[in-house]
Amino acid sequence: MTALAATVRSNIAALMPTFSSAFSGVALLILILIACAAPWLAPYPYDLQNLSIAAQAPSAAHWFGTDEFGRDVLSRVIFGARTSLSVSLVAISLSVTVGILIGAICGYVGGRLDRIVMSIVDLTWSFPEIVLALLIVAIIGPGSSSTVLAISIAYLAQFTRLTRTQIKSLKRQTFVEASLSLGAGPTHIIMRRLLPNVVAPVIVVAMLSTGNAILLEATLGFFGMGVQPPVPSWGAMLSTGSAQLFSAPWVILLPGALIALSVIFINLFGEGVLHALDIKAQARSH
Amino acid sequence: MTSYFIRRLLAMIPVFFVVSGVVFLIVHMVPGDPVDNMMSVGASANQRAEIIARYGLDRSLIEQYLTWLNNIVHGDLGTAIVMRRPVADLIMSNLGHSLALGGWALMFSAVAGLLAGTIAASFQDRWIDHGLMGVSLLGSTVPTFWLGLLMIMLFAVELGWVPVSGARSWTSLILPVITVGLGGMALVARVTRISMVEIAREDFVMLLHAKGLSRWTIQLRHILRHALIPVVTILSLRIGLIVGGSVTVEYVFARPGLGSLLIRALAQRDYPLIQGCLLFLAIAVMLGTLLGDLLQAAMDPRQREDSAQ
């Protein structure tokens, strides 16, 4: 842990001047603030319908136009940021936590348990992510909690594998032997000795996966299987907007652009952190 | 090589059983009675008894699974509830469209990616390099369905160059192929560029320069050839995605295909059709991955030895 902390400190200087990652970090922060302050920032409530101004082009009153029910696109996008960010953050946190736990236990115990559990986890790689997510939503029904579950299962395998590989190589090191000979139990060794050495690369991969999670959430929303209306989500806005593609093309511009931008910012920021920690090799070797 | 092929094939068998088991269990995991899930609303008691007999729904889960698997081996995937046609027929009539889209998209990723990567590497650190790499970062992060919609708006509606949707002529393939292939293209371009830049630093390249060969001969005949190995690895990893990777794009362009069939089945809660689509998608991913592994093993003997240990 101390070695890692030193690496972080010495490389933090290397991170700061990288303009693109600093810029992306600030942009992400702004996006999160906007999502938090949505009720105060949005010019209109997200579900305020006014059919007399339905499908209007951008104007001074409605900067990004109105949708087919006369709802303000900008307000819906601002509230949609809450859905996209919270669903993907919660899903990835869940996935990372469970992945680290399973990976640590499998890596430490090894043997038959390891083989059985890992072959189950690897199953998720038999389907493309979106198909897997659709499968899960098909079983438990659409909605925000099933979206969270679907995304977290879709990304579980990589966190589990990454943790397991590292634990496997670490558990033979002398500091673990020293702990064992002092009478430490497996829980103590995994939680206090092994995990602190393992989490950093997992966290970085998790950060990069958050970008993919936003895409997956939007895709599920686009198929109408994500967060259910009237709560706005970027993906669902694209889906309803695509029906009005010819009469009101402005509806799909802002939500799509924001999905793309958040994914790009997360990737650039994550790359910067990866660079700063210099753990690219470890992160790739799962 | 033969022994590697056999080992790899044998390793797929348990995976197939587990994946098909999961697909089989879907009908039992969704809320409600599995018999109701397999029938249209308002079916008669006779039809109900027929379904129960056909799938052995009154027997144990293991027996049910074996009956189901046996039916599938004999080409019987059940009947779609809403569309009232055999699931096998529906899948067969859609599979070709998915294969065409995925295959052409892979081809596009390979050709366009190699081209962009080679150009970027040849003009390293100049504006054309930064421009191409910026565009490929954009290409791999922009959501495909949004990109598809934007391209429909620009090329089909504004300019009228290609049809908006459907699959009637080959021109209707152009936009979907680009949309699906752009992510792969970005990846191939990045890998090509990096490995060409690395190889350009090696001693043998300096020797070629010393021999007086022209810059482009060196770039194309020598550096690019060495740089191809990681590119083929990346491409072979993507073979598995040929059928399953374009679910969203098929839906956006209203093209027939396994993906749009699955989405329709999900929306209609047509469980026999859902099971059929998922099983075929999984088989396609497995076969594609197998093909990719074999390609890699054929090129790189180390790969074969790794798995023998």
Q: Write the pLDDT tens digit of every residue in B83-107.
A: 778 878 888 888 888 888 888 999 9
Q: Residue A94: pLDDT band by 50, 70, 90 thresholds?
A: very high
For chain B, give the percent of residues with pLDDT over 70.
89
- Average pLDDT (A74-98) is 88
**pLDDT at site A206:** 86
Q: Does A127 touch chain B (CB under 8 A)?
A: yes
Strand partners for B142: none
Q: Is residue A121 part of a domain?
A: yes
**pLDDT at site B47:** 75
Contact at CB, A130 and B251, closer than 8 angstroms: no
Write out the H or E segment, with its range, that includes residue B236. helix B224-238
Is the pLDDT at A95 greater than 80, yes or no?
yes
Q: Does A249 touch chain B (CB under 8 A)?
A: yes
Strand partners for B86: B79
CB contact at 8 A, B253 and B97 = no
Q: Residue A115: pLDDT band by 50, 70, 90 thresholds?
A: confident
Q: What is the pTM of this model?
A: 0.80
DSSP symbol at B268: T
For chain A, give the percent of residues with pLDDT over 90.
6
Q: Does A215 touch chain B (CB under 8 A)?
A: yes
ipTM over 0.85: no
Average pLDDT score, chain A:
79
- Average pLDDT (A259-281) is 76
CA dihedral of B34, B39, B43, B46, whole degrees rounded to 10: -70
SS3 per-residue string spanning A194-239: HHHHHHHHHHHHHHHHHHHHHHHHHHHHHCCCCCCCCCCCHHHHHH
B225-240, pLDDT tens digit by residue?
Answer: 877 877 887 787 777 7
* C-alpha span between A85 and B220 (Å, rounded): 45
DSSP symbol at A182: T
- Average pLDDT (A217-223) is 86
Q: Does B220 touch chain A (CB under 8 A)?
A: no
Q: Is residue A23 part of a domain?
A: no
Helix axes A156-170, A73-109, angle to 10 degrees: 30
Smallest CA–CA distance, residue A266 to chain B, in Å, is 10
Q: Does B78 touch chain A (CB under 8 A)?
A: no
* C-alpha span between A258 and A199 (Å, rounded): 30
Q: Residue A93: pLDDT band by 50, 70, 90 thresholds?
A: very high
Region of poorest pLDDT, from B17-26, B55-64, B131-140: B55-64
Contact at CB, B247 and A127, closer than 8 angstroms: no
**pLDDT at site A281:** 44
- Cβ neighbors of B81 (< 8 A, separation 6 or more) are B38, B39, B40, B268, B270, B271, B272, B273
Strand partners for A72: A66
**Set of chain B residues whose Cβ sits within 8 Å of the Cβ of A263:** 141-143
Closest partner residue to B244 (CB to CB) among A128, A242, A256 is: A128
- Average pLDDT (A36-47) is 75
Q: Does B262 touch chain A (CB under 8 A)?
A: yes
Give the residue on A whose Cα is nearest the Cα of B140.
A264
**Set of chain A residues whose Cβ sits within 8 Å of the Cβ of B153:** 245, 249
Q: Does B254 touch chain A (CB under 8 A)?
A: no
Q: Does A20 touch chain B (CB under 8 A)?
A: no
- Average pLDDT (B212-222) is 80
**Set of chain A residues whose Cβ sits within 8 Å of the Cβ of B157:** 245-246
Q: Is residue A62 part of a domain?
A: no
* C-alpha span between B229 and B209 (Å, rounded): 23
* C-alpha span between A154 and A207 (Å, rounded): 15
Rg (CA), chain A: 22
Tokens 């634990």 correspond to A167
Q: Is residue A30 part of a domain?
A: no
Q: Does A131 touch chain B (CB under 8 A)?
A: yes
Start-to-end CA distance of chain A, whole Å, equals 20
Closest partner residue to A131 (CB to CB) among B30, B138, B281 is: B281
* C-alpha span between B125 and B104 (Å, rounded): 31
Contact at CB, A260 and B143, closer than 8 angstroms: yes
**pLDDT at site A91:** 93
How many domains does chain A divide into?
1
Q: Is residue A239 part of a domain?
A: yes
Query: Considering Cα of B70, then B73, then B77, then B78, what sign does the dihedral take?
Result: negative
Q: Is residue A185 part of a domain?
A: yes
Q: Residue B111: pLDDT band by 50, 70, 90 thresholds?
A: very high
Q: Residue A226: pLDDT band by 50, 70, 90 thresholds?
A: confident
Contact at CB, A245 and B141, closer than 8 angstroms: no
Is the pLDDT at A12 greater than 60, yes or no?
no
Contact at CB, A223 and B263, closer than 8 angstroms: yes
For chain B, give the percent of residues with pLDDT over 90.
1
| Per-residue tokens: A265 | 């910012």
- Cβ neighbors of A28 (< 8 A, separation 6 or more) are A262, A265, A266, A269
Closest partner residue to B15 (CB to CB) among A126, A134, A138 is: A126
- Average pLDDT (B1-23) is 81
Q: Residue B40: pLDDT band by 50, 70, 90 thresholds?
A: low
Give the residue on B whose Cα is nearest the Cα of A137.
B266
| Per-residue tokens: B64 | 């049910």
More confident residue, B305 or A280: B305
B contact test, residue of A119, A124, A135 with most B CBs within 10 A: A135
Tell me the C-alpha to C-alpha distance, in Å, between residue B295 and each of A229, B102, B219, B224, B281: 47, 18, 25, 19, 21
CB contact at 8 A, A255 and A77 = yes
Is the pLDDT at B158 greater than 80, yes or no?
no
Average pLDDT score, chain B:
79
Q: Is residue A241 part of a domain?
A: yes
Q: Residue A156's domain is classified under what CATH number?
A: 1.10.3720.10
Q: Does A27 touch chain B (CB under 8 A)?
A: no
B237-260, pLDDT tens digit by residue?
Answer: 777 777 777 888 888 888 888 888
More confident residue, A185 or B303: A185
Contact at CB, A242 and B241, closer than 8 angstroms: no
Q: Residue A285: pLDDT band by 50, 70, 90 thresholds?
A: very low
| Per-residue tokens: A182 | 């002092």
Residue range of the domain that includes A151:
77-249+260-285
Pairs of CB atoms within 8 A across A/B: 96
Q: Is residue A157 part of a domain?
A: yes
Is the pLDDT at B304 greater than 70, yes or no?
no
Smallest CA–CA distance, residue A246 to chain B, in Å, is 8
Start-to-end CA distance of chain B, whole Å, equals 15
